[in-house]
Amino acid sequence: MPIPLGLALVLPLVLALLLALLTATGAATTAAAPAAAEQTPLRAADPSVLRVGSTYVAVQAAGGSIVVRQAATTAGLATAPAHTVWTDSGGLGEVWAPEIVRDGGRYYVYFAAGEGAAHRMYVISSTAPDSGYTSATRLDLPDDKWAIDGTLFTYGGERWFVWSGWAGDTDVEQNLYIARMSSPTTATGGRYVISQPRESWERVVGDPYINEGPEPVKDPDGRLHIVYSANGSWSDSYCLADLRLRAGGDPTYVWDWYKSNGCLFGSHRDTMMAGWDPTLHVDGPGHHTFVLLDGDIATSPPAGPRFPLMFHAVPKGTPYAWENRYWYTGTFCWWGGTTYRRANVPGPTSDTGWSLKFFE
């Protein structure tokens, strides 16, 4: 059947437009396709990394010791030589989750050690990141209760220490606490709870219910955030969530903190905050580290670009177990205009500001 002259003239143009549309759609789809998570060869948990000049420095618990690694990239840390900087020669017990910070030109590594209910925070320090560390000193934190995952930071011209601990002497739930510090090794005043695992999405896996791994960062408006891990670390419901201090808020007053309405980085859609997607390549991402210059939250990233992140997780398709956790490299960026809502508590029921997006 012959094609009418009008259609014959128009058909090439229509086909050209369709081809252009399909090409553009394909290009857009390709550009938007997620990249695979950058799994490092290091089978370990609880990374803590800072950047000093052009060098990345990481600490890791290795049995009853603490090791330091240095590399030119975050990905290179996993295969960098591990220098032992401290060994538990005094029989303190299990050594967990060391955190490296820099304060006044000196490096401090905070870690938890102990057995069962005896876990407390300890610190060693040196003028060099990979040698010359002092013997371990126990931090005299207020109330002297079970304490892990502590780290030091400076905000509002004051030093602060934030950690995960118990309200009493039994493992009912793990809360996040904060205290002022008069020096990198000395707390002053009381301890103040800033978060408890009371939301449904952070009570998926319990016995006990958990808030842990707190990491401070400052947003483009200068407001303080504490990003932490929720749910049991032994499950693939482990995830990252956010606490945002209200503008002009008091870090010691729990109701000046607003919590994200769900996980911001996790592997289960039903626990994610609306507008945040679950991971595609890993299960149970948690206990992360913001890779900041000198570990200083005053060097927190501005809005716009993505910045380095490290976290531990289990590859999808692998049984979720502590021994299957690896260090991963990733990125994060600030996400503006995000409202966190709450009910039945003192103060305004909502707060709008910066949140975070995490990328595998």
Please provide the DSSP assignment of 43-103 as one string. Answer: --S--EEEEETTEEEEEEEETTEEEEEEESSSGGGGGS--EEEEE-TT---EEEEEEEEEE
Nearest to 303 by CA among 227, 243, 358, 355: 355
Catalytically annotated residue among 212, 219, 256, 283: 212
Give the separation between CA 212 and CA 357, rounded to whole angstroms: 19
158 is catalytic: no
One digit per residue, pLDDT tens: the chain, 360 residues? 443 434 343 333 333 333 333 333 332 222 223 344 599 999 999 999 999 999 999 999 999 999 999 999 999 999 999 999 999 999 999 999 999 999 999 999 999 999 999 999 999 999 999 999 999 999 999 999 999 999 999 999 999 999 999 999 999 999 999 999 999 999 999 999 999 999 999 999 988 999 999 999 999 999 999 999 999 999 999 999 999 999 999 999 999 999 999 999 999 999 999 999 999 999 999 999 999 999 999 999 999 999 999 999 999 999 999 999 999 999 999 999 999 999 999 999 999 999 999 999
Catalytically annotated residue among 46, 103, 149, 219: 46
pLDDT recorded at residue 206: 84
Q: Are strands 307-315 and 282-290 parallel, antiparallel or unpaired?
A: antiparallel
pTM (predicted TM-score): 0.89
319, 307 Cβ separation under 8 angstroms: no
Dihedral angle, C-alpha 332, 333, 338, 343, nearest 10 °: 30
46 is catalytic: yes
